Amino acid sequence: MASKASLMNEERPSALANFGGGINGTWAKLTRFLSDVRAEMKKVVFPSRKEVESTTSVVIITTFLFGLFFFVVDAIFSRVVEQILHRLGAQ
């Protein structure tokens, strides 16, 4: 019962909030937001240096492999299109 009463009090804006244009309500929202941010940041787990190095190396190697793959595919398609155009009479 007490929690229901406290919830009803939170739902109704106070006279001071109405008088000040909601400045107190905005300040309360901002402080609650910042406290929520602080609570969430405590849950964040940052990777270790070893994890960052390993994932970075995987990204670099994968990038080079994809680059090589697309270079080969582009060369093959260029040759095919060149042969087709040559057989159709293009110079």
Per-residue pLDDT of the chain (91 residues; tens, 9 = 90+): 455 555 555 555 555 555 555 677 888 899 999 999 999 999 999 999 999 999 999 999 999 999 999 999 999 999 999 999 999 886 6
pTM to 2 decimal places: 0.52
Do 25 and 53 fall within a single domain?
no
Do 38 and 79 fall within a single domain?
no
Do 7 and 20 fall within a single domain?
yes
**How many domains does the chain fold into?**
2
Do 9 and 38 fall within a single domain?
yes
pLDDT of residue 12: 55
The 3-state secondary structure of the chain reads CHHHHHHHHHHCCCHHHHHCCCHHHHHHHHHHHHHHHHHHHHHCCCCCHHHHHHHHHHHHHHHHHHHHHHHHHHHHHHHHHHHHHHHCCCC
pLDDT of residue 13: 54
Do 70 and 34 fall within a single domain?
no
Do 16 and 34 fall within a single domain?
yes
Do 13 and 29 fall within a single domain?
yes
Do 37 and 56 fall within a single domain?
no
Do 35 and 69 fall within a single domain?
no
Do 72 and 87 fall within a single domain?
yes
Domain that holds residue 22: 1-44
